[in-house]
Amino acid sequence: MYNYNLHAHTFLSDGDLLPSEVAVRYRDKGYETIAITDHADYSNIRQASRAIVEFCRRWPKDSQIKVLPGIELTHLPPEQFKPLAKLARKEGIKVIIAHGETPVEPVTKDTNHLALMADIDILAHPGLISEEDSRLAKERGIFLEITSRRGHNQTNSHVIKQAKKSGAKLILNNDSHSPEDIISPQELIRVGLDSGLTQADIEDIYENVRAFLSKKEAR
């Protein structure tokens, strides 16, 4: 069973809920591990990172759900991805997402490429990602996101096709902002299947994400 979501927002950025409620709602849906990944740029990255890391540090170790500290570097001038990713790591962030070139927002050109050159883990909703950048994601071991988020999900099929050509790793994520966005693992899998993944693809994604999390949780 695919039971991970590494893209969730709280009221520390533009989400509706406290981190604790996000965690409880995901636990209720059957997830085992999530990451809190609120939006950040130079204006708030220290405060957001420290708040998220503190929350995750105090989350009960014996809880039925693990919560990892993450951040989503969002709408940056592309040259800022490298220094901000470095700063996030220094603050204790384990899952770094870059806000990719979604077709439904005015994202700066070359965001995908320069984000992939930084120390990130996931390129979120990368839109009409190029073959070159898909190959770069493969080379750097960065996940390309398949998302259930309305609007961002318009290019899921394109991302899957490019990833299959290049061998880049994929990840399924909710990109949740409100309670209604927190769909079950089964519903998230259905998003992937409807976008062109096979059941074998889902199993490969599960194993890749599990291996990634084993490394992160060991640190």
Note the pLDDT tens digit of each residue in 65-99: 999 999 999 999 999 999 999 999 999 999 999 99
Q: How far apart are CA 107 and CA 33, in angstroms?
A: 29
Distances (CA, A) of 187 to 91, 123, 190, 194: 34, 22, 5, 10
CB count, 10 Å around CB of 186?
A: 12
Is 149:181 a contact under the CB 8 Å cutoff? yes
Q: Return the closest-CA partner of residue 112 out of 93, 94, 131.
A: 131
Q: What is the mean pLDDT of the chain?
A: 97
Question: Residue 100's pLDDT is what?
Answer: 98
Give the tens place of pLDDT for each residue, 121-173. 999 999 999 999 999 999 999 999 999 999 999 999 999 999 999 999 999 99
Query: In sequence order, which residues have a C-beta less than 8 Å from that of residue 121 and are 6 or more positions away?
Result: 6, 95, 96, 97, 142, 143, 212
Give the C-alpha separation, 137 to 146, whole Å: 14
Extended beta strands in the chain, E state: 4-8, 33-40, 66-73, 95-99, 122-124, 143-147, 170-173
Q: What is the pLDDT of residue 1?
A: 83
User: What global pTM score does this model have?
Assistant: 0.97
Q: State how far the Cα of 10 lies from the Cα of 16, in Å rounded to an integer.
A: 6
Nearest CA among 75, 134, 73 for reference residue 109: 75
Distance in angstroms (rounded) separating the CA atoms of residues 81 and 118? 6
* Per-residue pLDDT band at 217 (split at 50, 70, 90): confident
Q: Which CATH number applies to 4-218?
A: 3.20.20.140
Place of tokens 């259905």: 190
